[in-house]
Structure 1
Amino acid sequence: MAKTLGPVRRSFQPWNDPSEPAYIELRDVTKRFGDFTAVDRQSLVIYEREFFALLGPSGCGKTTLLRMLAGFEEPSEGEMLLQGRPLTGVPPHKRPVNMMFQSYALFPHMSVADNIAFGLKQEGMAKADIAQRVAQMLRLVKLEPFAGRKPAQLSGGQQQRVALARALAKRPKVLLLDEPLGALDKKLREETQFELADLQESLGLTFVIVTHDQEEAMTMADRIAVMDHGRIIQVATPAEIYEAPATRYIADFVGDVNIFEGQAERLEEGKLRIATTAGFAVETVVNGPSLPANGDTVWFAVRPEKMVISHDRPAGASSGPAPNMVEGEVWDIGYLGDVSIYNVKLACGDIVRATRLNAAREVERPITWDDRVWLSWRPDSGVLLAG
């Protein structure tokens, strides 16, 4: 069986099929607000039935992109198309898209059922059809017992479901979600992420979500576009974003990571040795069309969970300096229940982070503060990064 980067959530992968047409397409889209460029000449393709995430920090341009798709903003330059048809100049209420806001924007004086029915009434749908559609939406989001309640009588998670049902009631071709889970507590947010992903797959709709939460994007999305300063830096699946980040920025933004700078030395085919500024050597496998030249400055990233932490020098290692291992002192520990996080201080003063799965309730020779420990990793555990 062919190896993949991380688990595959589903076999749906239209971006790997050259014959698959674009559903949403951005062509050199720019948006300026006075002298400020919020989105800078960006192109993007999103496919039908895809759950797509725009991920990035505040001010990176992701919400501006979403608002342009919704019709609340018009591009300063470039084109936006849906099923090959231009969206420029089409007002929001005439676009086959709907948007779910972070605040939910429910009408407080209306019942749950009336909130869901509001858009359908505005379109002039027959009463019998509205009642049928509302009942369908209530079943979909599991809120049938709450149809007569007002929003103030619901929990945050229930309000979120009402807003989702209202957005889906008009059966849009595309549902746009602006930080939809931001108001929920951590546990409910994690549960809702899976529910939303399952709902999107069962409905067969195209979802585009904006979020600054990496775990949220990685849990729900088929693909993620990581943005920074108005530009899309990388578009890939969650596993590819995490395991093969295109730049140091993405490696640092998505999850925890240790990044080491050093000088490159070519070894045999596909292998590279890096003399790091931290005083130890890295040997890694490089899968790509080209290797850096001898003496080039490079950066190597390895995730904390890929590091093995132990009291003893790794078995089989010689007594002298060896690649892919370094000794240090435990500087701090974070116990999270399922995993423990160890911050290890090296002789040069750098802090390296490693995590260990707490698979057993009782541990012999537990690692604790001030212990001398060894960190080691496999040659294929890390990735070489572009500047």
Structure 2
Amino acid sequence: MKSLGSIRRDFAPWKDPSAKPYIAFENVTKVFGDFTAVDDLSLTIFEKEFFALLGGSGSGKSTLLRMLAGFDEPTKGRILLDGQDLAGIPPYRRPLNMMFQSYALFPHMTVEANIAFGLKQEGMPKADIAARVAEMLKLVKLEQFAKRKPHQLSGGQRQRVALARSVAKRPKVLLLDEPLGALDKKLREETQFELMDLQQSLGLTFVIVTHDQEEAMTMADRIAILDKGQVMQVATPAEIYEAPASRFVASFVGNVNMFEGTVAAREANKARIAGASGAEIFVENAGDAAAGNAVAFAVRPEKIKVSSKRPEGSANAMEGEVFDLAYLGDMTVYHVRLPDGQVVKASALNSSRLTDDPLTWNDRAWISFQPDAGVVLTR
């Protein structure tokens, strides 16, 4: 069985034991007064990686980015970039750049002047500046807007100007703090793919902070899930979704159903889990769960089938009542309430205009899933 990895490109230096991390947080703690924003955190990021720091408010993700940028210093621990300890190095001397959600464009300057600003500050020759600005305008497809000012641009165009300015100095690392938050949903989705293409064409290391799970899943090679200043899991998007390490990660990323129970029996990798409602769940891979352990079996909604009749040959089937449903065009989402009160969410693709097995509110319904449809969680 193949391991889950990046689906976009053949890039996985973290699987190579001899690969040297490009960025390393070593036992980093950051305390603000009596609040610990980052708690003894260790994390490695590799060169040319598109890495996402994903978490809710107060998880420590922005604090990590600010410490890497040099705006804050760790209370304890150290941060290395290409083997160099960044302690004491001011932001303007670090070989990285940061792009903020606000974009921070100069309103009185044209697009090309905004892009050229940092290059002029560095004392680059005029001819070289003109060539670099032209290169950046072409890169972000804004050549025809060079003479415009920010207020004459759309939100997506302003975002691209800020991006061009951020990479014009060719930093080793680009830090992105919620860079797409100001864009509408459709434009945000389009820009995600533009960012991915840009990152690979430039060959830079991108570190993005976001609270948007879909954004992180779309763009990143790997994701670090953060909570209360600690790393809950670091893995590829596919591994985070299909093989979460804990109940927290499973619940935080996407929708999930949790069937709590106790491992009643185990044989090789297979196990039988006795649920609180008396239902039994048979699983193909019990992981490190031993007989007698309290566990949760986590199953994503798309892995659960809903039908009006008990499915034949299914090891895991439970009867309930359709409590709610939502027709979303491409799919229908069912909420089925089981006898013990648990509400199970299941989603079904609407692959045809008509259905042979229509279900609606208050109908009796069966949910079922395969023994390998989910993951057993002990944490």
Pick the TM interval, shorter chain: over 0.9
CA deviation map 1:216-235 (0-9, x unaligned): 00100000000000001110
Say whether residues 1:292 and 2:284 are aligned partners.
no
Matches of 1:79 and 1:7 in 2, distance apart?
A: 29
Equivalent positions of 1:108-147 (< 5 A) are: 108-147=107-146
Equivalent positions of 1:247-326 (< 5 A) are: 247-286=246-285, 288=287, 290-293=288-291, 295-316=292-313, 323-326=315-318
Matches of 2:357 and 2:224 in 1, distance apart?
A: 43
Say whether residues 1:346 and 2:345 are aligned partners.
no
For 1:19, the equivalent position in structure 2 comes to: 18
Say whether residues 1:227 and 2:204 are aligned partners.
no
TM-score normalised according to structure 2 size: 0.98
SS at match of 2:217: helix
**C-alpha deviation, 1:371, in angstroms:** 1.5
Equivalent positions of 1:42-57 (< 5 A) are: 42-57=41-56
SS at match of 1:267: strand
Taking only aligned residues, the RMSD between alpha carbons, in angstroms, comes to: 1.2
1:7–1:356 CA distance, 2 compared to 1 (3 A): farther
CA deviation map 1:97-151 (0-9, x unaligned): 0000011111111111111111111111111111110110000001111111111
Cα contact 1:260–1:278 (8 A) shared by 2: no
**C-alpha deviation, 1:4, in angstroms:** 3.5
CA deviation map 1:282-310 (0-9, x unaligned): 1112264x3322x3211110000000111
Matches of 2:304 and 2:6 in 1, distance apart?
A: 20
For 2:31, the equivalent position in structure 1 comes to: 32
Structure 2: 5+ residue stretches without partners: none
SS at match of 2:271: strand
Residue identity matched to 1:129: D
Cα contact 2:246–2:377 (8 A) shared by 1: yes
Matches of 1:10 and 1:192 in 2, distance apart?
A: 19
Structure 1: 5+ residue stretches without partners: 318-322
For 1:195, the equivalent position in structure 2 comes to: 194
Matches of 1:4 and 1:370 in 2, distance apart?
A: 41
SS at match of 1:115: helix
Matches of 2:329 and 2:105 in 1, distance apart?
A: 38
SS at match of 2:137: helix
Equivalent positions of 1:229-248 (< 5 A) are: 229-248=228-247
CA deviation map 1:152-183 (0-9, x unaligned): 11111111101100000000000000000111
SS at match of 2:92: helix
Which of 339, 359, 381 is the equivalent residue of 2:373? 381
**C-alpha deviation, 1:265, in angstroms:** 1.6
**C-alpha deviation, 1:268, in angstroms:** 2.1
**C-alpha deviation, 1:263, in angstroms:** 1.3
Residue identity matched to 2:227: D
For 1:213, the equivalent position in structure 2 comes to: 212
For 2:358, the equivalent position in structure 1 comes to: 366
Matches of 1:186 and 1:25 in 2, distance apart?
A: 33
TM-score normalised according to structure 1 size: 0.96
CA deviation map 1:35-88 (0-9, x unaligned): 111001111110000000000001100000000000000111111011101111
Matches of 2:18 and 2:35 in 1, distance apart?
A: 38
Residue identity matched to 1:315: E
**C-alpha deviation, 1:257, in angstroms:** 0.2
Matches of 1:203 and 1:6 in 2, distance apart?
A: 22
Matches of 2:346 and 2:51 in 1, distance apart?
A: 31
For 2:319, the equivalent position in structure 1 comes to: 327
**C-alpha deviation, 1:7, in angstroms:** 6.5
Cα contact 1:278–1:350 (8 A) shared by 2: no
**C-alpha deviation, 1:6, in angstroms:** 6.9
Identity %: 66
Matches of 2:355 and 2:155 in 1, distance apart?
A: 40
Matches of 1:3 and 1:39 in 2, distance apart?
A: 35
1:316–1:284 CA distance, 2 compared to 1 (3 A): closer
For 2:155, the equivalent position in structure 1 comes to: 156
Matches of 2:351 and 2:117 in 1, distance apart?
A: 51
SS at match of 2:335: strand
Name the count of aligned residue pairs.
379
Cα contact 1:156–1:184 (8 A) shared by 2: yes
Residue identity matched to 2:313: G
Matches of 1:4 and 1:354 in 2, distance apart?
A: 26
